[in-house]
Amino acid sequence: MPAPGEPAPDFRLPADDGRTVSLKDLRGKKVVLYFYPKDDTPGCTREACAFRDNLARVTSKGALVFGVSRDNLASHAKFKDKYHLNFPLLADVDGIVTSAYGVWKEKTLYGRTSMGIERTTFLIDEKGRIAKVWPKVKVDGHADEVLAAL
C-alpha cells in the first residue's frame, strides 16, 4: 500500500460516464480516491451517499472524488442511478489498480476467508503524491474525516 509522501500509482480506468480517467491527467487537483468492496451493499451505499451529500464541500476545497471497485460499468450505472450519485465510479474489473494500491486483501467474514477490497481511501495531492491514507475505513463519519484533511 503506498504511504504518505510516495507517488500514487498511475492508472487508467473506465468511468460510468463513458470516459477513461487517468490519474496523470488529474495533476494540479487533489483527488479523493476511495476503494469500496461492492456496489449497492449496505456499507458501500452509506459511504457513497456520504460523499454524494458532501460533494460540494469537497469540490469547494479543490478536490475531486472517485469511487473504485471491481464491479463492471453496468453495475456502477445501476448503483449510481439508484442513489443519485454525483461523482464518477471507476471499474477496476481485472483488479490491476486495487492490487497496485494494496487494497486487494484476504478478508474474514463470519469465519469464512475470501479475497476482496479492503475499504480504503487515499487523498492524492496536486503533484500526484499520496497525502493521506485511511485504511480499514469505518463508514460513519468518514466523509467528515476526509473533509477535515482537505
Whether residue 6 is contained in a domain is answered as no
Whether residue 4 is contained in a domain is answered as no
The model's confidence at residue 115, banded by pLDDT at 50, 70 and 90, is very high
Whether residue 5 is contained in a domain is answered as no
Q: Which backbone phi and psi does 137 adopt, to 5 degrees? A: -60, 135
The model's confidence at residue 110, banded by pLDDT at 50, 70 and 90, is confident
pLDDT at residue number 108: 82
The model's confidence at residue 71, banded by pLDDT at 50, 70 and 90, is very high
Q: C-alpha cell of 80?
A: 449510481
* Domain count of the fold of the chain: 1
Active-site positions? 44
Res 109 pLDDT > 80:
no
Whether residue 96 is contained in a domain is answered as yes
- Whether the CB-CB separation of 104 and 116 falls below 8 Å is answered with yes
**In CATH, what number is assigned to the domain containing residue 53?**
3.40.30.10
Q: What is the mean pLDDT of residues 61-85?
A: 98
Dump pLDDT digits (tens) for 45-69.
Answer: 999 999 999 999 999 999 999 999 9
Q: What is the dihedral of CA 20, 23, 26, 32, to 10 degrees?
A: 100
Whether residue 76 is contained in a domain is answered as yes
Cα separation values, 84 from 19, 26, 71, 109, 147, Å:
19, 24, 18, 29, 21
91: domain range?
12-149
Whether residue 3 is contained in a domain is answered as no
